[in-house]
Structure 1
């Protein structure tokens, strides 16, 4: 294994705390994160990682390693990482925002917004089905030979579902990609503009992009495959909508806080974020929200691992409808994994505790390792917070 110089830089923003209390918090948090994350970094030879924690209104940032094995530039809280499928949560938020604006309804059939699919199976599939991966068995990936939206529409006109809409969960980039196409079209904007010029500014996310500007490329980490080959995202059809966002730990912890109603946002945008947390289908140990995945809290690690397993990504799972939407709850854990060929990410938060975590790495390593490390950090912090009250 390549020797990896691990150096931790801790930045924290504390409100209403004495210096002694702040020092104690820093030491305890550092120990908790070190114990959970250092073995992961060493086992998978991860070049760099950025971790952000929000705990009861306070933010903490931890950085390990380098942006690139070649340049050796250190990771910071503003280093850009590819988010992979965590990008889908922004697409879902754009759709609920468009719904708040009266431009679409999640109950609409897809063909209402995409006339090219009139007369196809999409006459019977709703936008809600797209947002919950319950369209009937759409493939995980866009087929390799599809290089344009016209070719995609051609393919979808001929596609036939394996299951009735709303009966099975089949995780799909095509599913959320179509939702993004519809949401942006309803706002009469290109998808990239809708996210970068409307959603990100509204959230106060100033270091997040689909198209990384030239003057920000020096902050874009180099990614590495599991075999340690350098790689970055090579976008295909529906990449922007399904897995195209690049963001930083600083921006993503802000996004997590926004999802827990901890920021002063435009009320319409705040409602759009909250709407993505409604539970629509029960799939195994997990409740499927609008892209977000939810569990009652407290919960055992094995249940969270089950909900984030390869089987949930690559296989179709029968679901139980929750008859509309499960009432919004705060005493839950909400999470999402994401990865590209060269990056791995995980976010999770517990609204009732005002507790959340962001983990970003510039190497693709297993989701189970991410989930386990984050679970250990969150449960240790929850225990610490509960004991302090």
Structure 2
């Protein structure tokens, strides 16, 4: 496959999705292939290249997890030890829960913690300590180990584990345990490390669909473990190549620990990584998003293959990144990643799930009308969260059409809009009533 064809696809897809700038990299056949498009910012346009920095959002979790696993290798952290062995000050709304939760459960999102805690703890070295001090406010969605549900807050708590065990700040601990040993010189957490380099600004669309620069570049320091790292696509390929290795650390991180149901993200969690079978091929991956910036990293261990994509425009960034990954899999490996087809819309089948569901910061609403082509799913930031935020908050996406998948009718797929292709499932109580909706690995409970 020629480099030009990757470039042509990236350019065409970016223009179709209205992406101001993007960078894609593929490690294949022992070499790196890059395709870049557009500009860093519509206000100060500089060409994007493979050394342009993007904010990676939740791809950051792979660095936090790897640093923790380094300390497991060194015998300084026990995966099955209670978190309180390392962070004795941990307080949750339920004392038994706080005493029971383990490091392993934080790593594979089975700790029973809600998705996110909105709290501002500053940019000082005490930011994570301050964040952990507020964890008594986070929703507890189930007993530790009872189910998988993606948690940003859990990874921020892991960052505090790293600080307590090493005696370093979180960022310094990751630098010493992961970044420096691998020569990742284009990966960092702090904006003052990025501002002297070429970096991409996030963009969100205004009411006319025109990209507007997002003024908040990335999240606060207390969220660095779960979503605060920035990097170039060249460094992401280096990071991916490390996770192609045969070390025990890499193997352990890629071994399934808990099954996932009805998720686009994967069939199982390893240690942090989403593990997914694509067309009979085992893949390892993680995505991330921030304020108008989106990233995707996918590794195919059995084929010595890595693809990384970054883009700086919403709302199309998620769909754009996904299409580039699918293109790379098909054209370099012959691996087809196709969405399942939903069953025809049946209002009587959908009516019982109509309603409002929520997390601490988001509201998910399902609407359905007889005679419509499809039911609609809408996810918005709660008005009180938007009003209370001291930082810029991205605009909400328009509602997405979705369809139920064949089978018992408890799994669904988004069929249009910015989240097209995302899959999820319904949770029912003993009577069969729907009490929750999972989307992107997160549980929304019925309001």
- Shared fold per TM-score greater than 0.5: yes
Between the aligned partners of 1:58 and 1:245, the Cα distance in structure 2 is 25
Matched, 1:275 2:225: no
**1:215-273 CA deviation, whole Å, 9 max, x = no partner?**
753412222124423123353363111111110011000111111028xxxxxxx4433
Q: Which runs of 5 or more structure 1 residues have no equivalent in the other structure?
A: 1-24, 263-269, 300-330, 385-389
Deviating beyond 4 angstroms after TM superposition, the runs of 4 or more aligned structure 1 residues are 145-151
Residues 149 and 188 of structure 1, relative CA distance in 2, 3 Å threshold: closer
Between the aligned partners of 1:177 and 1:127, the Cα distance in structure 2 is 12
Q: Higher helix share goes to which structure?
A: 1
**1:288-314 CA deviation, whole Å, 9 max, x = no partner?**
111110113435xxxxxxxxxxxxxxx
Residues 106 and 211 of structure 1, relative CA distance in 2, 3 Å threshold: same
- Residue 334 of structure 2 aligns to a residue whose secondary structure is helix
Q: CA deviation at 1:360?
A: 0.8
2:87 and 2:164 in contact (8 A); partners too: no
* Aligned counterpart for 2:274 among listed residues 293, 309, 330: 293
Question: Which residue of structure 2 aligns with residue 229 of structure 1?
Answer: 212
Q: CA deviation at 1:284?
A: 1.1
Residues 153 and 250 of structure 1, relative CA distance in 2, 3 Å threshold: closer
**1:113-155 CA deviation, whole Å, 9 max, x = no partner?**
111127552211111111111111x222212466655654444
Between the aligned partners of 2:130 and 2:245, the Cα distance in structure 1 is 41
Between the aligned partners of 2:64 and 2:40, the Cα distance in structure 1 is 27
1:355 and 1:378 in contact (8 A); partners too: no
**1:83-121 CA deviation, whole Å, 9 max, x = no partner?**
000000000001100101111011111111111127552
- Residue 235 of structure 1 aligns to a residue whose secondary structure is coil
Residues 40 and 128 of structure 1, relative CA distance in 2, 3 Å threshold: same
Matched, 1:130 2:106: yes
**1:340-378 CA deviation, whole Å, 9 max, x = no partner?**
012111111111111110001122335344223312221
Matched, 1:250 2:253: no
Residues 139 and 161 of structure 1, relative CA distance in 2, 3 Å threshold: closer
TM-score by length of structure 2 reads 0.66
Matched, 1:72 2:23: no
- Residue 168 of structure 1 aligns to a residue whose secondary structure is coil
**1:14-73 CA deviation, whole Å, 9 max, x = no partner?**
xxxxxxxxxxx4xx34224533x3443123211111111000211111111111222221
* Aligned counterpart for 1:121 among listed residues 94, 97, 103: 97
Question: Which residue of structure 2 aligns with residue 31 of structure 1?
Answer: 5
1:48 and 1:66 in contact (8 A); partners too: yes
**Corresponding pairs, count:** 318
Question: Which residue of structure 2 aligns with residue 376 of structure 1?
Answer: 327
Residues 166 and 360 of structure 1, relative CA distance in 2, 3 Å threshold: same
Q: Which runs of 5 or more structure 2 residues have no equivalent in the other structure?
A: 336-447
Question: Which residue of structure 2 aligns with residue 312 of structure 1?
Answer: none
TM-score by length of structure 1 reads 0.75
Query: RMSD of the TM alignment (CA)?
Result: 2.4
Question: Which residue of structure 2 aligns with residue 332 of structure 1?
Answer: 282
Q: Give the structure, 1 or 2, with the largest relative contact order (CA under 8 Å, sep 6 or more).
A: 1
Question: Which residue of structure 1 aligns with residue 296 of structure 2?
Answer: 346
- Residue 73 of structure 1 aligns to a residue whose secondary structure is coil
1:295 and 1:332 in contact (8 A); partners too: yes
Between the aligned partners of 1:380 and 1:361, the Cα distance in structure 2 is 21
- Residue 341 of structure 1 aligns to a residue whose secondary structure is coil
Between the aligned partners of 1:272 and 1:187, the Cα distance in structure 2 is 19
Between the aligned partners of 1:134 and 1:225, the Cα distance in structure 2 is 32
Between the aligned partners of 2:230 and 2:179, the Cα distance in structure 1 is 12
- Residue 238 of structure 1 aligns to a residue whose secondary structure is helix
1:279 and 1:287 in contact (8 A); partners too: yes
